[in-house]
Amino acid sequence: MIELTKLPYGMEALEPHISKTTLEFHYGKHHAGYVNNLNKLIAGTPFEGKSLEEIIMNANGGIFNNAAQVWNHTFYWNCMTPNPVKDKPKGKLMEAIIRDFGSFDEFKTKFIDKCVTLFGSGWTWLVADKDGKLSIVQTGNAQNPLTEGLKPLLVCDVWEHAYYLDYQNLRANYVNEFWAIINWESIEKSY
């Protein structure tokens, strides 16, 4: 059985950037709904008892969509922290960002642009390939970079349910606020 992973902080912890109300709906309804749907869909199938990663890499249709959304959301929650220790990464990750994007500011500009310009619902990811080269990718709906052999490092959820209660149609405002709560320490460790 797939479990709903506990949030790494309280429902109100990301305020004022992301409200308690948004987390109650986003985590408590959307994310929990994907978990419940997935468990119903995999009951009695070869996917029952498999990890999310195994399901994502081998399923399609509704099973893939719900499994990927559970994984994507869990990853997203862990990319944020209510008390960021730093406003940008250091060490090897920063070196890779400068190597692959020219500067941190250029990376940030490109990432925000990819978030804002993604048409419809989806995700914007900072990923590393097998050689450690970084890139920014957009995925629609439930798509996930794992299926392309890429290692996710950072993700911003740009489905409307991630921001609409707080920012209505102003996705750019949400994305700019997201930058204030990125957990760079965790992302550095992942890289």
Q: What is the pLDDT of residue 139?
A: 98
Q: What is the pLDDT of residue 181?
A: 97
Using CA atoms of 151, 154, 159, 162 in order, give the dihedral in degrees to the nearest 10.
140
Q: What is the pLDDT of residue 96?
A: 98
| Residue 158 DSSP symbol | -
Mean pLDDT for the stretch of residues 48-60 = 96
Q: In whole angstroms, what is the distance from residue 67 CA to residue 77 CA?
A: 16
Q: What is the pLDDT of residue 166?
A: 96
- Region for residue 93 given its phi and psi (left: phi exceeds 0; alpha: psi -120 to 50; beta: otherwise): alpha
Q: Tens of pLDDT along 143-156?
A: 999 999 999 999 99
Is the dihedral angle over the CA atoms 107, 83, 75, 171 positive or is it negative?
A: negative
Which residues face 124 on adjacent strands? 138, 156
